[in-house]
Amino acid sequence: MSNLTVSRITCARIPTAYGNFQLCYYTNTHDNKEHLAFYMGEVSGASDVYVRIHSECFTGDVLGSRRCDCGEQLDLALQRIAEQGVGVLVYLRQEGRGIGLLEKLRAYNLQDLGHDTVDANLLLGHGADDRNYALAARILEDLGVVSIKLLTNNPLKLEALQAEGISVSSRIALESEVHADNQHYLRTKAQRMQHLLHIDPSQRDASER
């Protein structure tokens, strides 16, 4: 893994509701997926750059699924970056915490039978979290970012990036709205995956009937 390298193939301007971004397409020596950097402003040589490492979630990002908070996190991250005028969203193609869309859909069916998101992955023979952050670290280095402020609720992600040699000056929380459809998912992330979330314990979990 430490030999992993990335190559920036090309970048293009993408105007959004939040302003102008550049989308950069990367290839790498680890897999054949299309990992991306979506950045705003002058990031090369910059310190304390707002960075979100976002793992692809087709159902959440594109379809707006309320089973998870990915779409909302993506949106919040782009808003925060645009407020700063400088920042990077690294978009990793590791759907379903690395298990892929097909297996994620199978895991959803297990969750509907009462298993939580961690157990569902384990039952399908996957790790609780098969994601790899070396790719993100190499992309940030390629962009010339000196140090980052990481937009995440996941301290393990912060540690993983530090272990890859990225200088993380602070963590910025991205708390999304808790509602009946994502409450059990968010609680599992908080209780079993060390995510730092504030979930009212008195709220009844819709999936705990």
Using an 8 Å Cβ cutoff, are 172 and 151 in contact? yes
Q: Which is nearer to Zn ion, 137 or 186 (CB)?
A: 186
CA distance 190 to 143: 32
- Given the residues 80, 129, 138, 187, select the one marked as catalytic: 129
Which of these, 91, 118, 76, lies nearest to 25 by C-alpha position? Answer: 91
CB of 164 to Zn ion, least distance (A): 23
CB of 186 to Zn ion, least distance (A): 11
Any idea of the CA torsion for 47, 190, 196, 186, to the nearest 10 degrees?
A: 70
Q: Which is nearer to Zn ion, 46 or 107 (CB)?
A: 107
131 labelled catalytic? yes
Using an 8 Å Cβ cutoff, are 41 and 32 in contact? no
Is 18 exposed, middle or buried, given 0-12, 13-18 or 19+ CB atoms closer than 10 A? middle
CB of 67 to Zn ion, least distance (A): 7
Q: Which is nearer to Zn ion, 147 or 207 (CB)?
A: 207
CB of 93 to Zn ion, least distance (A): 13
* Residue for token pair 């700063």: 84
204 labelled catalytic? no
Residues in 52-71 that interact with Zn ion by CB under 5 A: 57, 60, 68, 70
CA distance 136 to 154: 15
- Given the residues 52, 67, 80, 131, select the one marked as catalytic: 131
Assess 98 for contact with Zn ion (CB under 5 A). Answer: no
Interface positions with Zn ion (CB under 5 A): 57, 60, 68, 70
Q: Catalytic residue positions?
A: 129, 131
